Structure 1
Amino acid sequence: MAKLLKTIPICAAVLGLSACIPFSEAPKSSRSNSAFSSPDARLCLSNLERAKISFAALPDTQYGGGCQAVNSVRLIDFGTPTSNLGPMTCNLASGFTGWARDVVRPAARKYLGSDLARIETSGTYSCRRVSGSGNLSQHASANAVDVFAFVTKDGRRVTVLNGWNGDSRESKFLRQIHADACGRFGTVLGPQYNQQHRNHFHLDMSPSRLNGNSYCR
């Protein structure tokens, strides 16, 4: 089995990021991590390797209050610089990198006339609850990412806030990648869902995805 731990620091490997989340603990090899003892977890890591994704397998971490990062990785390089990515479950990392590669990049060329240079997010793991609910958010399990904007190589910055109902090319681009995300993630929320999501896409690998269903709004 190929060595899973990559040694290139994330902030050096991914140029052009608007921010990086530091980690005080050096990543460990998955071979010493109980999170990768299950067949599903090992298969996910193998799939990332086959897709030539550069990543570091992270040790399981319990933060208290039900918040945790289990079966998680840190993405280092998958061909598209992306800001603020912290720990992500392996399944989320697989879904996100596939979406960026197979959906967002082609859509940027088709609708915006330029290659994708960067994706801007507000992060992944965050120990918080769903607004108006006592339930923990998928962010509390490092199983969600919020995407706010996309930057093309010709300098165009497309935000969910301004582009969803704005310039026709930007609107078509955003609506296409939102629709295509629905087949890749368990939950996809955007401006049509509520005011709290008017400025970003929430993408997560909630359990509904395991049943072949997704909640898309």
Structure 2
Amino acid sequence: MMTPRILAALLPLLLAGCLFGGGADRVSSNQPIRPRASGPITLPDRETPEARQCRAELARDHVRYTPLPDRDYGGGCLVTNAVQLLDIGVPVSGINSMRCPLAEKFAAWVRHGVSPAAREILGSPLVKVESMGTYACRGIVGAGASASRRLSEHALANAVDISAFVLADGRRITVLEGWDSSDPAVRQFMAIIHRSACRRFRTVLGPEYNAAHHNHFHLDMGEGPFCR
């Protein structure tokens, strides 16, 4: 039987396990986060009600996609209920697996937030979105060594980084140059699509958050709400 002294000593560890899912899925050890050297393990197919509902919403919105198997990559990196977006109406470069709720919010943001803003503010249709990727087995970037050992939402295929927007008139509007552009219309475009993202995603990080996000918008469906 545990004595009160032993229980008191163990309590912080027990609480940490509850808060961070036992430590494996949100926080790693002092070692760098890295995928399993032998490759991912495909998990048994268990379609959840959430997955069915999300895929039905994508189909209703005429978004073309391919469902992906659940996979455990090791190091806490886990991709479940994911899809590969094929066609959301505008080409998007650099995206791979995305958890379905993120994919649904992303498609809606591009269609109903970014595209109308490009037409109305910049006077030209949106023809391409450039991303810096979705899934990556890694820790959080740009917040010190301790944060780098905390699992990023990218390691769960629950985040996407967007760097630029290409218009039909040939202009390429980057987050790096557009956020503080000398062109007031470009600044307005950036501000409006940032606010639009904050209404859809759980976390939105941009150039005003920290130096690591100076050239892209980080959009995820993890903890939040947080918009910066």
The two structures share one fold, judged by TM-score above 0.5:
yes
Whole-Å separation in 1 of the counterparts to 2:122 and 2:79: 36
1:140 lines up with 2:155 in the alignment: yes
1:98 lines up with 2:125 in the alignment: no
Which of 179, 194, 212 is matched with 1:178 structurally? 194
Deviation, 1:207, is 3.8
Structure 2 gap ranges (5+): 1-43
Structure 1 segments of 4+ aligned residues over 3 angstroms from their partners: none
Any residues of structure 2 matched to 1:1-217 within 5 Å, and which? 33-34=45-46, 36=47, 38-131=48-141, 132=144, 133=147, 134-166=149-181, 167-208=183-224, 214-217=225-228
Q: Deviations over 1:52-77 (max 9, x none)?
A: 11000000011000001110000001
The 8 Å contact of residues 203 and 223 in structure 2, kept in 1 or not, is answered as: no
Whole-Å separation in 2 of the counterparts to 1:135 and 1:90: 23
The 8 Å contact of residues 121 and 188 in structure 2, kept in 1 or not, is answered as: yes
The 8 Å contact of residues 109 and 200 in structure 2, kept in 1 or not, is answered as: yes
RMSD across aligned C-alpha pairs, in angstroms?
A: 1.0
Deviation, 1:169, is 1.1
Whole-Å separation in 1 of the counterparts to 2:62 and 2:196: 22
Equivalent pairs counted in the alignment come to 179
TM-score (norm 2): 0.77
Whole-Å separation in 2 of the counterparts to 1:176 and 1:207: 23
The 8 Å contact of residues 97 and 135 in structure 2, kept in 1 or not, is answered as: yes
- Percentage identity across paired residues of the two chains: 50
Q: Deviations over 1:27-57 (max 9, x none)?
A: xxxxx832x2x21111001100101110000
Which amino acid is the alignment partner of residue 211 of structure 2?
A: Q
Alignment correspondent of 2:17: none
TM-score (norm 1): 0.81
Whole-Å separation in 2 of the counterparts to 1:69 and 1:85: 14
Q: Deviations over 1:8-39 (max 9, x none)?
A: xxxxxxxxxxxxxxxxxxxxxxxx832x2x21
Alignment correspondent of 2:34: none
Whole-Å separation in 2 of the counterparts to 1:84 and 1:55: 15
